[in-house]
Amino acid sequence: MATLESSAVPLHAHHDDLSFIRKYIFATDHKIIGLQFLFATLIFLLIGGVMALMIRWQLGFPGEAMPGVGVINPKFYNALVTMHGTFMIFFAIMPLLVGTFGNFLIPLKIGAPDMAFPRLNMMSFWLFVVSGIVMTASLFVEGGAAGAGWTVYAPLSAVPQYTGVSLGQQLWIISIVFFGGSSLLGSVNYITTVINMRAPGMTLFRMPLSIWGLFVTAIIALLAVPILAAAIIMLLFDQTIGTTFFLPAGGGQPLLWQHLFWFFGHPEVYILILPAMGIVSDIIANGSRKPVFGYHSMVLAIIAIAFLGWIVWGHHMFQSGMNPLLGTSFMISTMAIAIPSAIKVFNWLGTMWRGNLWFHTPMLWAVGFVSLFTVGGLSGIFMASNSVDVFIHDTYFIVAHIHYVLFGGSLFAIFAALYFWFPKMFGRCMNENWGRIHFALTFTFYNLTFFPMHLLGMGGHMRRIYDPTAYEFLQPLQPMNKFITVSAFLLFMAQIPFVINFFWSLFAGEKAELNRWRDNGLEWTVPSPAPHGNFTVTPTVYRGPYEFSSPEVEEDFLPQDVPPDGGRERAPETVGR
Amino acid sequence: MGWLPGAASTYAADLDRIFYVILAVTGLVFIGVEATLIYFLWKYRGREGRKAAYIEGSNKAEIIWTVTPAVFIVGLAVASQSVWSKIKSPANFPTDAIEYRVEARQYAWGITYAGADGVLGTEDDFTRFNEMHVPVGQPVSFELTSADVIHSFFVPAFRIKQDAVPGLIMRVWFEATEVGEFALACAELCGVAHFNMGGKVIVHPQDEFERWVAEQS
Amino acid sequence: MKEAIAMPGGVHAEPGMRIYNQKLGMWVFLASEVMFFTGLIGAYIILRFGAGDWALPGIPLEEGGTPLAINLTAFNTFMLICSSVTMVKAFAAIEHGDQRGLRLFLLGTVVLGAAFVGIQIFEYIKLTHEGFLPACSAELAEIVPNCGLFGSTFYVMTGFHGAHVSIGVFCMIWVTVKAFRGAYTKENHGGVEVIGLYWHFVDLVWILLFTIVYLI
Amino acid sequence: MESAEQKQQPRYYFIWFLLLVLTMVEVGVAYLSHLPRTLLILVLVGLAIWKATLVAMYYMHLKFERLRVILLATAPIPLAIILVLGVLLEYAQ
């Protein structure tokens, strides 16, 4: 309970004598933990990406040996589909947004010395590592990795005989239980920090939208993940000790699994997109040198999306045999989400309107996010219509949709955030030109890969099938499958400039100035990288985070901690070290 | 357009119409948003010495783009609802349908026919795997269930998809409008050979169908 | 708990919840726990609703009565309620700076909590001997309707609750040891309040579980 | 803590006694198996909610907390109801 001792008062005096292990391995500093999450998740992102390539290879060239991998058999293919989804959702996108940027940004941007519970924060990271190790280990156990899809629908997942996988599926469940623990500790920390530890003057409606996104996300995760935990524990017992929660033979209900899973799963989707929306809002305002258009409605839209997220889970189950009347109500609540989403897109456009756009690399990615999220949002309307969903449910149309939202959406926002906050994280800048090349290549090959999937879906191409040529009616679509596969490989290779740029800049990048992007956030008032404890003197906040091009001052930005009299004497920034 | 597979059931055209309406509207929004985006990127590209306009928002504009999608969505929901209830609502099932029973299992579709007497559950019932013979121009309906895991009965040409859940009995109906062979697929991941769980729906002219049924018993 | 009261981060113009971090954190954590038990209890309600026939209290086992021992568990419920009052009295004691009261009442809470767990373990042993398990014995399966489902839901719900009580007992022992070392004072006793919140929450969950699992 | 200043000492033993009596009533009611099931269930659930509320209000001191703490504590309850009711509606067809 004495964990706060180190954070209650800024103790720069003795943070330097922490040993290497205390500082970088069992770190309690939120910034170091954020970086730990970053490096861990980049590995998982790579694993998930390689799995995607293997899936694409099999779909483009069914049954042919993949160079360096060999022939992919159907069981392994199912494992790939399952683990690609699992790694990308639980071990890449979610921890990148929530773990990395949640940890790194929340205290810095609200003017707090650290998280409310630094040691819980450390435990959160190490539980995540344990979870990741268990999940990775499940790839190599006897019987192979889980093969019931990342949605682990019972009874397929509940009885080992149905998939031929037992230990792999059990490790999957155990790993997600650990993951849930990690997520819970993170959520408790973020919520307490945001509520209790804001700097003086940092009212809720002066918080940057990125913090709003992360805060609301933490609330969603806090309340959604336990439902998943309860459900998968029941699933584990069905697998191992003979309970019958989801097995009709023993009186259980397979659809109960789907209800519980999607009651978690749909809010989970918003966990993956709300922080991204917040981050993009920050970066677009910065790149446009203009306040965010309609800040309050942006906040309300985040809250509305989060709330609606709880009452739409049934739209994943339109074809599962639910009561048709219930289907109608779920369609209406689902479509209602289009309204706050539309508000967000239009407000981003409004932010750029009459701006003075500065196309730094983060801005490019943010603009890319807006254009691709628009596609993902619009294609969602097809699925929301329960009658159209009868046809496109479980086809490549939905694969296209989720990838437009999670790759074109979340991952683009993650790249934007990485380029944007890299200087603050490491004290060096990433190379802008290579960043632009990375963006141009990714944007191009991204669309070449995923846009045609809409057409596959319209052709009736089912998702998660090992060999599309097994169906006669899908054979004419095979050239398109090949095209997508080639594009996917190019998309993968388009990430090479990023990897090189990232590691090269880490050691040899241009030294970062204090406020690289002439931004208003509190994080730009501390040295890059910021010391343990962040602020030498607790900052006082005088205004919202988006006072760009304010008529009050000559420059086109006005940091949150500059007193209104215009006295630009900010002592703290130079003291740090 | 031609991207959707040929429609061969009575409600396929209704469903396609909604699809194309959504495609048209979302397509317009898509073009509108992306064109505006590109125009803004070009028009407001940064220049030295210029300062962006200091605008915090506009209630009027925001109300407009809140209400417009809302209206569109209400219309869409109403349109979808009628087709949805036509396909799925038990109250709207045709009463003059030929009855079948379909049981999915790893990895086959077992289709039970009523036989010559036209009544299920009698001795002359017979079961064929992966081939569903139906007459053209007459509604057919069936009880769909599964013996093991969840499968999904999917006939792209008929625009019908329904999960088969073990322990539950789902009601499905369709009426084929064209004679021919149509692919029947499993749309829900159901195990290792999920991809290989295809079948056929063979639509016969009425007299040919009767002859086929007679031959089987 | 000195640092808990001094609000970290200095003065607050808009001072958040006006409660210290640990207490706020515990409430946030409890909100999450509510959802976890919602998952378990909700599954039970839904499964039972779908199953139809169920073993009821108040009638003999042979006529479809419940295999659970209601009187024993009612006594156990009594223990847990008692432990709640000792817990809250411990907190009230230290609020007045009464060290002796704090220690005695905390000790009482530990004993009552441990007794609850002990009785629950005894109940489990008894039930498993009678063949009441997620995979019911053949004789029991014949007379108890939906025996397997009953067993599955019963053990998962009460098991996770029991685990929560056990964790609570261990934390309570830790707090008690600290109390005997004089770690809490009239001004600083956040630890007692926070563990108390957890303890009462666990009690509250049991109140609901006892009713819907044993009595309905 | 800060709640201490404003609250008069709640009657902890009285609440304990009330909980005890309510528990005994519950067990008694549960044995009245000849009454209609729906009535029994309503009474029992009502008693359980009463007891749970007593614990939350007096032992967890929610009665003496600020509104925002109460909101935080009760926030998950609507979600729990939405989940259970939403799924139960499946049977209403």
CB contact under 8 A, A367 and B195: no
pLDDT band at residue D10 under the 50/70/90 scheme: low
Helix (H, G, I), strand (E, B) or coil at A115: coil
pLDDT for position A26 = 86
Which tens digits make up the pLDDT trace of A256-302?
Answer: 999 999 999 999 999 999 999 999 999 999 999 999 999 999 999 99
User: Residue A476 gets which letter from DSSP?
Assistant: G
pLDDT for position A9 = 41
Q: Show which of residues 56-85 on chain D sit within 8 Å of chain A, judged by CB atoms.
A: 75-76, 79, 82-83
CB contact under 8 A, C4 and A1: yes
CB-CB neighbors (< 8 A) of A222 in chain C: 28, 31-32, 35
CB contact under 8 A, A234 and C43: yes
The answer to whether residue A343 neighbours chain B at the CB level (below 8 Å) is yes
Do A196 and A325 reside in the same domain of the chain? no
Structure tokens at B145: 């269930």
What is the pLDDT averaged over residues B81-101?
A: 90
Instruction: Report yes or no: B102 and B109 within 8 Å, Cβ to Cβ.
Output: yes
In whole angstroms, give the CA distance from residue C71 to residue C157: 19
Instruction: Report yes or no: C20 and D64 within 8 Å, Cβ to Cβ.
Output: no
CA of D84: which chain C residue's CA is closest? C42
CB-CB neighbors (< 8 A) of B75 in chain A: none
Which tens digits make up the pLDDT trace of A175-227?
Answer: 999 999 999 999 999 999 999 999 999 999 999 999 999 999 999 999 999 99
Q: Which residues pair with B135 in a beta bridge?
A: B204
A202 dihedral zone (left: phi>0; alpha: psi -120 to 50; beta)? beta
CB contact under 8 A, C74 and D23: yes
* First vs last C-alpha separation in chain A: 30
CB-CB neighbors (< 8 A) of A236 in chain C: none
Structure tokens at A144: 């192979």
Q: Pick the range with the lowest mean pLDDT from A8-12, A371-375, A499-503, B10-14.
A: A8-12
Do A400 and A312 reside in the same domain of the chain? yes
Q: Is the pLDDT of residue B130 over 90?
A: yes
CA distance D93 to chain A (A): 6
pLDDT for position C213 = 92
CA distance C135 to chain D (A): 26
Helix (H, G, I), strand (E, B) or coil at B129: strand
CB-CB neighbors (< 8 A) of A260 in chain D: 83
Looking up residue A27, the CATH number of its domain turns out to be 1.20.210.10
The answer to whether residue D2 neighbours chain A at the CB level (below 8 Å) is no
Do A208 and A351 reside in the same domain of the chain? no
Instruction: Report yes or no: D16 and C85 within 8 Å, Cβ to Cβ.
Output: yes
The answer to whether residue D92 neighbours chain A at the CB level (below 8 Å) is yes
Which tens digits make up the pLDDT trace of C159-216?
Answer: 999 999 999 999 999 999 999 999 999 888 999 999 999 999 999 999 999 999 999 8
CB contact under 8 A, D90 and A310: no
CB-CB neighbors (< 8 A) of D91 in chain C: 49-50
State which residues form the domain around D29: 2-66
Nearest one of A478, A566, A533, A388 to A63, comparing CA atoms: A478
pLDDT for position B2 = 63
Q: Is the pLDDT of residue D3 over 70?
A: no
CB-CB neighbors (< 8 A) of A286 in chain B: none
Domains of chain B are: 12-90 (1.10.287.90), 94-216 (2.60.40.420)
CATH of domain C21-215: 1.20.120.80
The answer to whether residue C152 neighbours chain A at the CB level (below 8 Å) is yes
In 10 A of CB A64, how many CB atoms?
Answer: 11
CA distance A340 to chain B (A): 8
Please classify residue A563 by burial: count the beta carbons closer than 10 Å to its beta carbon, then call 0-12 exposed, 13-18 middle and 19+ buried.
exposed
Chain A neighbours (≥3 Cβ pairs under 8 A) are: B, C, D
Q: Is the pLDDT of residue C11 over 70?
A: no
CB-CB neighbors (< 8 A) of A201 in chain C: 13-14
Out of C20, C27, C70, closest to residue D30 by CB: C70
C7 vs A311, residue with greater confidence: A311
Please classify residue B171 by burial: count the beta carbons closer than 10 Å to its beta carbon, then call 0-12 exposed, 13-18 middle and 19+ buried.
middle
CB contact under 8 A, D44 and C216: yes
Structure tokens at B21: 């309406």
pLDDT for position C16 = 57
Total number of domains constituting chain D: 1
CB contact under 8 A, A225 and C46: no
Instruction: Report yes or no: D30 and C57 within 8 Å, Cβ to Cβ.
Output: yes
State which residues form the domain around A78: 21-228
Distances (CA, A) of A333 to A308, A326, A386, B70, B74: 7, 11, 12, 12, 11
Please report whether residue D20 resides in a domain: yes
pLDDT band at residue C62 under the 50/70/90 scheme: confident
Edge-to-edge strands, sheet with B98-105: B126-129, B108-113, B98-105, B139-146, B170-175
Do A479 and A458 reside in the same domain of the chain? yes
Total number of domains constituting chain A: 3
In whole angstroms, give the CA distance from residue A516 to residue B35: 31
CA distance B116 to chain A (A): 31
Please report whether residue D33 resides in a domain: yes
pLDDT band at residue A471 under the 50/70/90 scheme: very high
pLDDT for position B49 = 83
CB contact under 8 A, D56 and C31: no
Structure tokens at B206: 């009425």
- Of A25-34, A398-407, A509-518, the range with the highest mean pLDDT is A398-407
Structure tokens at D35: 């009454």
Out of A199, A201, A244, closest to residue C152 by CB: A244
pLDDT band at residue C111 under the 50/70/90 scheme: very high
The answer to whether residue D88 neighbours chain A at the CB level (below 8 Å) is no
Which tens digits make up the pLDDT trace of A322-362?
Answer: 888 888 889 999 999 999 999 999 999 999 999 999 999 99
CA distance A272 to chain B (A): 23
Structure tokens at C76: 């156990």
Do A519 and A498 reside in the same domain of the chain? no
Q: Which residue has the tokens 């898509």?
A: B30
The answer to whether residue C1 neighbours chain A at the CB level (below 8 Å) is yes
Do A366 and A311 reside in the same domain of the chain? yes
Q: Pick the range with the lowest mean pLDDT from A19-33, A463-477, B140-154, C181-195.
A: A19-33
Chain D neighbours (≥3 Cβ pairs under 8 A) are: A, C
The answer to whether residue A323 neighbours chain B at the CB level (below 8 Å) is no
Alpha helices, DSSP H only, in A241-337? 254-288, 295-308, 324-336
CB contact under 8 A, B83 and A382: no
Structure tokens at A387: 């009658």
CB contact under 8 A, A326 and D76: no
Do A194 and A298 reside in the same domain of the chain? no
The structural domains of chain C, with segments of one domain joined by +, span 21-215
Instruction: Report yes or no: B86 and A340 within 8 Å, Cβ to Cβ.
Output: no
Chain B neighbours (≥3 Cβ pairs under 8 A) are: A
Q: Show which of residues 163-192 on chain C sit within 8 Å of chain A, judged by CB atoms.
A: 190-191
Chain C neighbours (≥3 Cβ pairs under 8 A) are: A, D
CB contact under 8 A, D60 and C197: yes
pLDDT for position D92 = 58
Q: Which ipTM was obtained for this model?
A: 0.93
